């Protein structure tokens, strides 16, 4: 427990890849904190605004006070008014040594020291699994932290949903709908690659809602022969086209995720899974096939009303939790309430699609091929 009467100023940062809903979180947290008489410092670009002062200027400071005006009219806006980055993780900060080798150092102690110099009494860290690991380390160093779960991938444990997921699924489902009509016109097979990293939530939800014929998830390594069989069946039945949704983390049985590249200190970049499936279909069945990669379009744009509401609830709950003297937790959606769980329970604990869940059963009942 912390003594909430000691809180005079909190800081907010957004880290990792962006997700629709960051701005409503910032707005709700800021207004709730101001209402308690606390000041709010916004940190720019993850923690760069504090750790890398040379990148900022008087015109564009690395950190600044958020007032009512700063958060006005931002609820419907995608992105984040604070900026974000998935480089410069303070837990594994890349530093070039004299011999040219890159060394990863823990800069969290410096970060906490800098936050203290700014008279910050507590931090609201908005981010995904990487950000929650940083939040946990910061809390161990004595700075009270509340984590707020963000990611379009929906892969954080203990929360039914992360904000950004609904917007990504809505976009992906719309894309699948659009591909249906052109697939039909041309008698083609359309492969759609969606994001989600090592979890298949976006693929599963958008695939079922968009009535895909095949959905490939990272959780179910696929047998390409099963996929080909399903596509062939569709053509044999005279349906003349096919829709295949592939999660970027999907992998063939006995194979690996498709990786585009890896930079020291950053997560590996996934990509190519859809193209691989499309090539197999076109080469082995002689069916005209196209692959569309939805990529960052899934992360852009205005949050859906579901994500706006969830974000506003998370932002306000984070401040209420601190005001109750509770810290070092992440707020979670545990319907009908927003509750909280210890940061230590969240980290290194990815939420994958359970293979026995009713959504997977629904896909099977509908005759969707899951590649197994």
Assign residue 291 a region (left: φ > 0; alpha: ψ between -120 and 50; beta: otherwise).
Answer: beta
* 12-41 positions binding ligand F6P, by CB under 6 A: 17
Stretch that binds ligand F6P, among 118-126, 147-155, 213-221, 342-350 (CB under 6 A): 147-155
172 binds ligand F6P (CB under 6 A): no
Task: Give the shortest CB-134-to-ligand F6P separation in angstroms.
Answer: 15
Helix (H) or strand (E) holding 123: strand 122-127
**Alpha-carbon gap, residue 224 to 176, rounded angstroms:** 21
**Alpha-carbon gap, residue 16 to 339, rounded angstroms:** 23
Tell which one of 197, 251, 308, 340 touches ligand F6P (CB under 6 A): 197
**Alpha-carbon gap, residue 94 to 101, rounded angstroms:** 10
Stretch that binds ligand F6P, among 115-123, 191-199, 220-228, 354-362 (CB under 6 A): 191-199
115 binds ligand F6P (CB under 6 A): no
Q: Does the annotation count 153 as an active-site position?
A: yes
Assign residue 269 a region (left: φ > 0; alpha: ψ between -120 and 50; beta: otherwise).
Answer: beta
For 163, which DSSP code? B
86 binds ligand F6P (CB under 6 A): yes
- With 0-12 / 13-18 / 19 or more C-beta atoms within 10 angstroms meaning exposed / middle / buried, residue 19 is buried
> Site mask, ligand F6P, residues 233-272, x = CB under 6 A?
---------------x---------------------x--
* Interface size with ligand F6P, residues (CB under 6 A): 12
Choice among 45, 129, 153, 155 that is catalytic: 153
C-alpha distances (whole Å) from 2 to each of 155, 179, 327 are 29, 53, 7
Tell which one of 27, 188, 234, 299 touches ligand F6P (CB under 6 A): 299
For 209, which DSSP code? H
46 binds ligand F6P (CB under 6 A): no
151 binds ligand F6P (CB under 6 A): yes
> Which residues are identified as catalytic?
153
Binding site for ligand F6P (CB under 6 A): 17, 86, 128, 151-153, 195-197, 248, 270, 299
């Amino acid at each position: 427990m912390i003594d909430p009467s000691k809180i005079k100023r909190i800081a907010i940062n957004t880290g990792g890849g962006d997700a629709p809903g960051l701005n409503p979180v910032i707005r709700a947290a800021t207004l709730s904190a101001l209402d308690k008489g606390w000041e709010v410092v916004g940190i720019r670009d993850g923690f760069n605004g504090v750790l890398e002062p040379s990148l900022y200027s008087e015109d564009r400071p690395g950190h600044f006070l958020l007032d009512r005006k700063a958060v006005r009219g931002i609820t419907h806006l995608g992105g984040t008014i604070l900026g974000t980055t998935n480089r410069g993780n303070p837990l594994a900060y890349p530093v070039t040594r004299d011999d040219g080798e890159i060394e990863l150092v823990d800069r969290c102690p410096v970060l906490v020291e800098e936050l203290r110099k700014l008279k910050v009494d507590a931090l609201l860290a908005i981010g995904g699994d990487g950000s929650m690991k940083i939040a946990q380390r910061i809390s161990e160093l004595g700075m009270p932290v509340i984590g707020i779960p963000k990611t379009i991938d929906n892969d954080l444990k203990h929360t039914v949903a992360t904000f950004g997921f609904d917007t990504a699924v809505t976009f992906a489902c719309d894309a699948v709908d659009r591909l249906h009509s052109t697939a039909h016109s041309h008698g083609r097979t359309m492969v759609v690659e969606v994001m989600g990293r090592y979890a298949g939530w976006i693929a599963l939800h958008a695939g079922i809602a968009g009535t895909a014929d095949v959905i490939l998830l990272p959780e179910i390594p696929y047998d390409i022969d099963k996929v080909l069989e399903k596509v062939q069946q569709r053509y044999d039945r005279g349906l003349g086209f096919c829709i295949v949704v592939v999660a970027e983390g999907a992998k063939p049985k006995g194979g690996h995720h498709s990786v585009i590249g890896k930079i020291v200190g950053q997560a590996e970049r996934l990509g190519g899974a859809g193209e691989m499936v499309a090539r197999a279909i076109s080469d082995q069945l002689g069916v005209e096939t196209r692959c569309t990669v939805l990529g960052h379009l899934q992360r852009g744009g205005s949050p859906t009303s579901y994500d706006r509401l969830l974000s506003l609830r998370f932002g306000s709950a984070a401040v209420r939790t601190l005001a109750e003297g509770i810290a070092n937790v992440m707020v979670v959606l545990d319907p009908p309430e927003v509750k909280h769980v210890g940061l230590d329970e969240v980290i290194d604990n990815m939420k994958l699609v359970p293979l026995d869940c009713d959504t997977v059963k629904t896909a099977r009942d509908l005759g969707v091929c899951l590649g197994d």
